[in-house]
Structures are given as structure tokens and as C-alpha cells.
Structure 1
Amino acid sequence: MARTRIALSGSALVTAAALAAGLTGCGAADMTRQSSPYADAKSSRTVTLSVQSWVGAQANVAVAQYLLEHELGYRVDTVQIDEVPAWDALSQGRVDAILEDWGHPEQEQRYIDDKGTIRRGGDLGVTGHIGWFVPTYFAEQHPDVTDWKNLNKYADEFRTAESGGKGQLLDGSPSYVTNDKALVNSLGLDYQVVFAGSEAAQ
């Protein structure tokens, strides 16, 4: 049975019909070589989905898994892998689909354009927005903090033990797509990017 591996980009729920159209084949082991219950089940209708660590991606996979299992008769295995290693796993056939990706042009060039081992599954129809946020109570007390030009004025108030004497700009996982370090440097902000490690910790 031929296998088509796909990566979908955006941040919306995928429909089972679209997913099923691109998935034929079986899942195998995850990045740690932990055995998938559906590995090597070549004659079965099985799918292994990569699960990213943020809630939106987990919701996408949960809906796709439910529809694939209950509406289309697939057996579904899920494997949690960070964003960039997920592309490697997808190319090597250890997972069959990434349902949400936030832009990895180097991986796209390598695996889609150069090697041809991954196909684009298409956009999901929702444009995600990445931004900086401050607590509401602080913005109400200091309305000008929402203009980046005033951030240095409040750097001392955002200082933590982890930020080394600068204001703390808290990010999630180091594996997430972000330009925060470059922005802080380019804008001359007196802030240090600190990684919480996950969306939940952030």
C-alpha cells in the first residue's frame, strides 16, 4: 500500500475527509523508538498522527482521531514530538501526518521541495496570530505599556530571577516558532527572553 505523508499548516480543525484523502499506510515507532501498537500493520487501515505540545494542536489531533476512528474505520496512534523532529519522523515514515505547523521553511525546503518525501496537505483556513501580552491589571494601571516603544520604561517591573537584571519576556518552549530574541535585540529592549518550557508552564 502506498504511503503519502502530509503536513498541514495553520491552526484550525482538520476535517476527516481531507485527512483520509492524504493518509494511506501505517504508523511506526516514535522518536524514542517506543513501539507503536500499529507499527508494521501494513494491511490495516492505520494512521499515526504527530501531536505538538500546545492545546490547539492537541485539539486538532483529538478531533481528527475521533473522526478517523468513528467515521472512517481507521485505527489511530498518536505520538508527541517537538516541531522540527516531527518533520524528520514524518519524512522517515514514523508518523503519517502533522496536523498543525507554524512555519519551518528550512524543513519545507528539505523534505517537500528537495527530497519530495513529504507533501503539503494544504492550509487549514485560519491565520494564527503571535503577539506580546501583559496582564490586564498592569495595562489598566499603565496604558502606555501596550506600545512597544514604552516597554523599557517598565523593564524593572518585569524583572525576575531568571531574566538576569532585565525585564522578563516569557516564551513557551524553545522549540516553538518565535522571533522574540531578534525583536528584543533589534528594538533595543532591556528584556531577556526566558523559556517556560511549555505552553502550560507559560
Structure 2
Amino acid sequence: MNPNRTLITLGLVLASSTALAHPGHEQASFFSGLGHPLGGFDHLLAMLAVGLYAARQSGRQRWALPTAFVLAMLAGAGLGALGIMLPAVEAGIATSVLVLGLLIAFAARLPVAAALPLVATFALFHGHAHHAEMGEGTLATYAAGFALATAALHGAGYLVGRWVPQTLWAQRLQRAAGAFIAGAGAVFLGA
């Protein structure tokens, strides 16, 4: 197959997933909340990336990053529930995919003072989007579902990141995964 055709097809698939990522939820429930992070490629990649990135950190930062993400995501949903709008939510989500992918691709280790606010800021956008897609129902059960799904995706990324051996080949593979995630973020941004 022609490489250009493959790249164009991949780009179109990734771009279309953003438009189709968030089906309307007529009745918000625990299960619709559980499915929301799994149904959007942008959310899925960002949440796996948080786990992958956290796995390569040291000490308490390994758990602080995913925890901060989940808590800030719930705060973002709370802001939405209060009617407080965030600017450029979809662009914020796409930027989270791009930046987290770049952090993994370059094996960057930010200090906790920089990493926590960065991850928390990204999570606010994800939480706000989750609330915007909620539909009718109670926020508590819906939020419990998307918080659990997010924690599971963080855990999956973390386990993969910790499972991969510290060989040169494995590091290259992880960096390639980060580059793929960053590339998807660039496509989501329309770059």
C-alpha cells in the first residue's frame, strides 16, 4: 500500500474519532460515565499517557500525577455543573494529548511543582467535557463512572510503563508510543 495513502487514512480516522468520540447520553448513569473516557480516542490516549508518564517517574510522583488528574477532572465536571465555562475545552483536551505524548516521547521528567499543575490543568478540560456530555441524570453516579474508568486507564498505562523492561529497545518502543500519542494530539488540534 502507498505510504502516503496510509498516512492520509490514519489522519482521517484519528480526526473523525474526535467528532464521533462523544455520543450523546440521554440518561446519565454510572455506566454511561464509565463508557465516556473509553469512547473518545482523545480521552483514552490522554489517560493512558498519564499512566505511562507516571510509570517513569520516581517516588510519590508516580501516584501523585494520576491522583491529581482524577481529582482535577472531578473539579472540572463540578465547574461545568455550576455553569462555569472553560475556554477552548476541546483544544485543551487535544493539547493534553499532544503534550503528554511529547513528555513520553522525549522521556522528560518534570519536577513535581511543574508536573502536577500541568496534569491537573489538562484534567480540568477532560472533566468539563465529561460533564458537557452527561445528559440528564445525577452527576454523582455519572462522575463515579468516569472517575473509575479514568483511574483504570491510568492504571493500565502505568502497568504497561512499569512492565516494559529498561532495555534500549523497550525505551525506543515507549518513545515511539509517545510520538504516536503526540501525533494524534497534533491531528486533534488540526495541525
Q: TM-score range, shorter-chain basis?
A: under 0.3
More helix as a share of residues: 2
Report which of the two has the higher share of strand: 1
Work out which structure has the larger RCO, using CA pairs closer than 8 Å and 6 or more positions apart in sequence.
Answer: 2
